[in-house]
Structure 1
Amino acid sequence: MEGLPAPGSGDISLHNFSVRLWEQLVHFHVMRLTDSLFLWVGAAPNLRNLAVAMCNRYDSIPVSTSLLGDTSDTTSNCLAQRLARKTKKQVFVSYNLQNTDSNFTLLIENRIKEEMETFPEKF
């Protein structure tokens, strides 16, 4: 069919990695879509929240909103904004860890950035 990408053309890719931080095993699931990115971070298989962020021409700070879960927990929103700014893509983030300490989330973000540098084609 004309106009449709060929099967296996690389429009969608999946990437998983894990790390132990502060005695906790943290799993990451990345799904790179054509013009967006979905990132799930957690220790157990659940989806407690979901946020989305994207760049816009009117502000240097990407716009973000919570799509699912407790709106008072802004961890997913903040991470989505920073990743949207870095990738220039629409970014969906689901941060499913109890620990929302800023030092811990900085470690999480740094680990994501390391993975982005090592495997840029996955992001």
Structure 2
Amino acid sequence: MSDWRRYDSHLIPAFHERFEERWGKNTAPFLDPEAHEEPLPRAQWINPATGAALAVVPIWTDDDRQHRSFGVFYLPPGGDIWVLRPGFTGYLEPGEDASEHLLALRNDAFKKAVAHAKDFLFGPAVMH
């Protein structure tokens, strides 16, 4: 049995801290725990037995908030941060008057990233 559990509260601040430790200050606005607007959609898991965590979140830069992709970030128990590669998950952030097409592209990209995360956590043969 796996010790991984869904984590549905606000993003774990360790994701932001470890990302900025590795790639520099202000490089992860999408992981900032102080942001009032949470990056959505997102999915997170924690392993209480080891202290490891994994998150799927939208990625953008402050220069271009419309073009996004989904990132899969793993926090090993001993520190550091790993970026897992789910393949191409790019999309345009749907606005308030978003077409169903843009919403479908975003949702498809999210599902692909979540499937990659679950394969990492539970193995590809496990039913999700």
- Per the TM superposition, whether the score is higher than 0.5 is no
Q: TM-score, normalised by structure 2?
A: 0.30
Q: TM-score, normalised by structure 1?
A: 0.31
Between Structure 1 and Structure 2, which shows a larger proportion of strand residues? 1
